[in-house]
């Protein structure tokens, strides 16, 4: 990582990845309310780098909720039972003896099947296993910008079809799961519904365009045959997940990570069987993709 010298901050210190995608922010105590200026700097750094980590932040659930609401109102988290007494917090716990696939093991942008998907997801590490468990992020802005002008023109009017059916539907992965899972997932016919979003969306803050699709939740392209959709989406997914567009986040205990679902997708790696992994997650409401 390199120190961010182009945008001076008065309150925070930002150390960014060489590509500018992904950064670490220090100089704050998130257990207490931030000043107006500090909060503005955090939001500016988040908009610029898309994925920002705050190390050494031992937060209670109340403090995690308070910081989340400083970023924006809570988003809606369907198909997963929240923590008792904390309806906006999901506990992502995987016990050492669990055999089920780790949660989030597929490239996706959180809840993109919603009419207004969440702008941000926040994940706080309580127990980090000694091996595995990295989270990979794809920079959907740079992936889009690397496409040819001919491809950009072709994609511009397309509407992608999103659905939660493959994961949470009545015939989805979790409906067929037989291994015990600590995380309480609710399979529902509601997940089988679908809607469309622009395949290329414009970020409401930065104005930059990004590919807004993912292998988990994007099930087709409006007006195209399944074969046509599969060919185009398959090409784009292969393009987006090239190493040059990927940031690998390595977790440390008591770290808070916040990412922008409007211009990224992510993948939760496993590799920590036999070890406890415990995280707490919140989301911030977003807007309708345009």
CA quadruple 114, 43, 63, 256: dihedral positive or negative? positive
32 is catalytic: no
Active-site hit among 142, 197, 203, 281:
281
260 is catalytic: no
Are the C-beta atoms of residues 272 and 96 closer than 8 Å to each other? Answer: no
Nearest to 142 by CA among 58, 17, 11, 34: 17
Judged by DSSP in three states, 192 sits in helix
Judged by DSSP in three states, 71 sits in helix
Judged by DSSP in three states, 209 sits in strand
- Strand locations in the chain (E): 2-3, 13-16, 23-26, 51-54, 90-94, 120-127, 135-139, 159-163, 194-198, 200-202, 209-211, 218-221, 246-249, 256-260, 264-268, 277-284
Task: Output the CA–CA distances (angstroms, integers) from residue 186 to 120, 169, 170, 207, in the order listed.
Answer: 22, 9, 10, 36
Active-site hit among 110, 162, 197, 277:
110
108 is catalytic: yes
Active-site hit among 48, 262, 266, 280:
266
In this structure, the dihedral spanned by the alpha carbons of residues 141, 146, 149 and 154, taken in order and rounded to 10 degrees, is -60
Backbone φ, ψ for residue 44 (5° rounding): -65, -40
Active-site hit among 48, 49, 94, 108:
108
Q: Residue-wise over 192-216: b if at least 16 C-beta within 10 A, else e? A: bebeebbbbbebeeeebbbbbbbbb
Tokens representing 277 are 């992994």
**Around Cβ 273, how many Cβ atoms within 10 Å?**
14
273 is catalytic: no
Are the C-beta atoms of residues 199 and 159 closer than 8 Å to each other? Answer: yes
What gap in Å lies between CA 134 and CA 146, rounded to an integer? 26
By annotation, the residues acting in catalysis are: 108, 110, 266, 281
């Amino acid at each position: 990582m390199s120190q961010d010298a182009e945008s001076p901050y008065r309150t925070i210190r930002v150390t960014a990845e060489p590509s500018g995608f992904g950064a670490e922010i220090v100089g704050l105590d998130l257990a207490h309310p931030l000043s107006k200026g500090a909060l503005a700097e955090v939001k500016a750094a988040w908009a610029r780098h898309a994925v920002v980590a705050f190390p050494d932040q031992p937060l209670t659930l109340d403090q995690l909720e308070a910081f989340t609401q400083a970023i924006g109102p809570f988003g809606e988290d369907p198909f997963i039972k929240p923590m008792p007494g904390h309806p906006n917090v999901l506990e992502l716990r995987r016990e050492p003896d669990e055999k089920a696939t780790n949660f989030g093991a597929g490239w996706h942008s959180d809840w993109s099947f919603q009419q207004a998907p969440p702008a941000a997801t926040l994940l706080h590490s309580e127990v980090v296993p000694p091996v595995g468990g990295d989270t990979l992020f794809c920079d959907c802005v740079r992936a889009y910008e690397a496409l040819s002008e001919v491809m950009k023109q072709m994609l511009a009017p397309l509407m992608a079809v999103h659905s939660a059916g493959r994961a949470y539907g009545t015939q989805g992965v979790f409906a067929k799961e037989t291994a015990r899972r600590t995380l309480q997932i609710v399979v529902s016919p509601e997940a089988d519904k679908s809607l469309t979003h622009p395949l290329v969306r414009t970020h409401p803050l930065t104005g930059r365009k990004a590919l807004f699709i993912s292998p988990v939740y994007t099930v087709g392209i409006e007006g195209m045959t399944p074969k046509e959709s599969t060919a185009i989406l398959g090409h784009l997914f292969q393009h987006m997940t090239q190493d040059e567009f990927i940031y690998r986040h390595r977790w440390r205990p008591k770290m808070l990570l916040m990412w922008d679902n409007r211009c990224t997708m992510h993948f939760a790696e496993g590799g920590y069987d036999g070890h406890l992994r415990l995280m707490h997650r919140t989301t911030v409401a977003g807007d309708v993709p345009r």
